[in-house]
Structure 1
């Protein structure tokens, strides 16, 4: 009898958990002026508090939200997804931010949030720990499932934050915001996607090769190319240094296959990494004459830009979900190095398959990006794409066509992977700001007078590129 009762109790708890995950909008709290915002958030089924952190003028909450592993079949289990809420006031618009990776648990405000002086909801991408199902069914990591995560979070919070919503994100986060709009076009009132790559045909990457023949100045390109080549010419002494470095730090190379492969992968990221993270003025920090530079100078330059820990198992592990997606849906660039003799390149650019543990199956879906690209070209509505002139990821970008409505693609001159609205030329900056305000329901009196509604806060406002240890968007 006791066993039977315990079994029935366990079954009831299990069914209750699935019900919470499957009913995003059930029993939503009323947004009132008398109920504390924390109580309103925690009244949402499946929402739990991790911690609240103080910040003047805001309330900042780190939360867990129960999500189904499979939105097509919620009975297949649930997982806890981290989100954060930077609460200003329920009377203000809300910005939904996705970075495409882990979520920061430090209060921060993205550019659109400052522009509209609003609330900000930030979501950790599924399968980035700790927001990973256990056990992990990697087939449930795709762009539709992730968009459905956002949809459920939005539906859960919309009854509290009832004003207009804008989604945003940079790089993979910009891609994420775009995919969300494609699959749930009625959720958001606008989208601001920063430096979002768009690899429509994975096997056709000539746009990147053309980019690297024109970016910056010839002098800077020649410097970078020479250092990259020299690092491969001096492979033997520098790999000895790499082996000692790996031993000192406990690095292993099981996933990529060998220290030799990891070394080449780091070196081949060098030129790309410079333009992704640096400005043309930073070229002065690159050794002027690679042939006469010391081994240490070559090592330091490559390590500073590419990071020698990037392709060790310990560097890859955190980003397994990204490489999995790159190898199944997103695509990944493959570029050539005409200034380096063939005998110095043994492996070439590593494919995502070589950066994901072999016990995780992968199969590429070539239709996924074609579908999104076609939708954006023909159906984009209230979408703004911002790119940096010197950012390699912008070589393959989103474009809007005749079917798009009130949508724009702007390029910030001289900027890298940290391009933003503030870096646009004056007329585009004014137009972009005005459209964001309009979409958020707090329009400016005119385009010419459009400006951010909140003052810049050096601690709160995140600007510039968020540096990753290897070539990732």
Structure 2
């Protein structure tokens, strides 16, 4: 019996050892780095880790390959630049939607406030985010919105599957946010838009009305008086502009003679847009040099000068074909210009091509905001010229959590930090509630 007991005990031990030997091997989970996750994303062609900025632990430059035209794959692709400020996958992601190229790698207002992650998306066809040869008809608000949605979806899937996304943008970037929200209402959880126009025409007449009503009559008269002073000294100002053209190697597509007129006409819009102090306006018997210096300090050269216009070509194309801009009333200066025609920006089309203005996209955005949109907050400055075509919220907007805050006497630099501490708290309480929604 002892023999059999030992024999069977040995068999049992061998059985246990065999069972252990045939147990499946547990493979430890491979933990990928942020760089590896980004590099493994679909449509990504390059990733570069950069020096950390702001509060971010890691910073990356990412290039996505995007269709030139989502309706026609035969047109090929282009590469689009994205900057990522990576902090923590459990914190919110702030998506900076640019209306132009990317100007800075640093955290914007919202990312800085929440010490959050930030995705910064360059708009198609600005800077190097463009094909070698641009088919201008592919620069549409719909194609741009699809660019942004692909990028957001890709980065969310790779890095941030379980956190909140808020899109934000300034000026034309604010337009970009509105348009992206209209086409992809569920792509982000909420939106914060700064000082962005919603234009309904190529030369939106609401701008003319605004410039006749902004601030006080006394202040408006001072602005108009300076423009008159410029026209009265036009010959001298023209000579100064010609001298500046030689010194700075500048030229104008429509010639320097027209350039000085456009610059004087732009003065009122730029004055109120940037919040120029009324006290700084030259008056009385002052030299042409003082007049010219003030004019250029307010208006600058970049809106009309040929090389600057070339770099801004995507802006002008969008404005002239879908997103709208403004023009200049000449009737108040008829004695100097001998015309009452509206001065327009048609000259800013790319050479050899033009297109009629399509009213539909911005009307679709308006209808979306009026009846469908939710969880959006708009910031404006009262005296900003672009507030002339600001978003107007319908009566049920608050029910859909649409909000608008206007800073008294504010300008185009108005941000949340521009408001009083009490108003800032009110604004951030709204955003906090969006971030805490289940």
Q: TM-score, normalised by structure 2?
A: 0.86
**Which residue number in structure 2 is paired with residue 158 of structure 1?**
156
Residues 51 and 268 of structure 1: CA distance in aligned 2, closer, same or farther (over 3 Å): farther
Greater alpha carbon shift after TM alignment, 415-424 vs 341-350: 341-350
Q: Larger relative contact order (C-alpha < 8 A, sep ≥ 6)?
A: 1
Q: Which residue of 2 aligns with 1:383?
A: 376
C-alpha separation between the residues in 2 aligned to 1:391 and 1:425? 18
1:354 aligned to which of 333, 347, 351: 347
The residue aligned with 2:317 is 324
Aligned to 2:169: 169
Give the C-alpha shift of residue 33 in structure 1: 10
Structure 2 unaligned regions, length at least 5? 1-28
Once the two structures are superposed, residues 1-53 of structure 1 have per-residue CA deviations (whole angstroms, 9 ceiling, x without a partner) of: xxxxxxxxxxxxxxxxxxxxxxxxxxxxxxx9943212221221332124512
Please give the alpha-carbon distance, in whole angstroms, between the structure 2 residues aligned to 1:132 and 1:203: 27
1:122 corresponds to which residue?
120
1:449-468 to 2 correspondences below 5 Å: none
Cα offsets for 1:160-202 (capped at 9, x unmatched): 1221100000110001000000000011100101111011244
1:369 aligns with 2:365: no
Tell me the residue number matched to 1:447.
none
Q: Which has the higher helix share?
A: 2
| Counterparts in 2 of 1:145 and 1:328: CA distance versus 1, 3 Å | same
For the 8 Å contact 2:54–2:107, the answer to whether it is kept is no
Which position in structure 2 is the counterpart of 1:312? Answer: 305
Separation in structure 1 between the aligned mates of residue 30 and residue 412 of structure 2, nearest angstrom: 41
- C-alpha contact (below 8 Å) 1:353/1:362 kept by paired residues: no
Could you tell me how far 1:216 is from its partner in structure 2? 2.8
CA shift for structure 1 position 117: 2.5
> Aligned pair 1:193/2:193, yes or no?
yes
1:91-116 CA-to-partner distances (Å, cap 9, x unmatched) read 11101102200112x43122222333
Q: Distance in 1 between matches of 2:256 and 2:85?
A: 43
- Alpha-carbon contact 1:78-1:133 (below 8 Å) kept: yes
1:201 touches 1:370 (CA, 8 Å); kept in 2? no
Instruction: Work out whether residues 166 and 439 of structure 1, in 8 Å CA contact, stay in contact via their aligned partners in 2.
Output: no
Q: Separation in 1 of the partners of 2:37 and 2:381?
A: 40
Q: For the residues of structure 2 that align with 1:326 and 1:93, how far apart are their CA atoms?
A: 32
- In 2, the alpha carbon distance for the partners of 1:415 and 1:270 equals 18
Residue 337 of structure 1 deviates from its aligned partner by: 5.5
CA 1:322–1:126: 2 relative to 1, 3 Å? same
Name the CA shift for 1:167/1:339 in 2 (closer, same or farther; >3 Å). Answer: same
Taking a change above 3 Å as real, the CA distance of residues 204 and 273 of structure 1, as seen in their structure-2 partners, is: closer
Q: Which shows bigger deviation, 52-61 or 147-156?
A: 52-61
Quick one: which of 378, 391, 396 aligns to 2:389? Answer: 396
Q: CA RMSD in A?
A: 2.2
Superposition pairs of residues 131-142 of structure 1, within 5 angstroms = 131-142=129-140
Deviations, residues 65-121 of structure 1 (Å, cap 9, x unaligned): 1111112233421101011111111111101102200112x4312222233321110
Contact residue 94 and residue 165 of structure 1 kept, 8 A: yes
Give distance in 1, aligned partners of 2:63 and 2:220.
46
What is the Cα deviation at residue 252 of structure 1? Answer: 2.1
Larger radius of gyration: 2
Q: Select 2:410's aligned residue among 407, 410, 415.
A: 415
CA distance, structure 2, for counterparts of residue 432 and residue 131 of structure 1: 34
**In the alignment, what sits opposite 2:246?**
247
Contact 1:64 1:82 in 2 (8 A): yes
- 1:389, 1:413 within 8 Å by CA — same for their partners in 2? yes
- Shift of the 86–348 alpha-carbon distance from structure 1 to 2, 3 Å rule, reads farther
- For residue 427 of structure 2, the aligned residue among 404, 409, 432 is 432
Name structure 1 gaps, 5 residues minimum.
1-31, 444-473
User: Per the alignment, in what secondary structure is the counterpart of residue 158 of structure 1?
Assistant: helix
Q: Secondary structure at the match of 1:242?
A: helix
The Cα shift of 1:348 comes to 6.0
Alpha-carbon spacing, 1:420–1:348, altered in 2? closer, same or farther (3 Å): farther
Q: How far apart are 1:225 and its partner, in Å?
A: 1.6
- Distance in 1 (alpha carbons) for counterparts of 2:235 and 2:318: 34
Q: Tell me which residue corresponds to 1:182.
A: 182
- Relative distance call for 1:258 and 1:347 in structure 2 (3 A) is farther
CA spacing shift, 1:293–1:51, aligned 2, 3 Å: farther
- Residues in 2 aligned to 1:312 and 1:107: alpha-carbon distance in whole angstroms: 27
Asked whether the 8 Å contact 1:223–1:287 carries over to 2, the reply is no
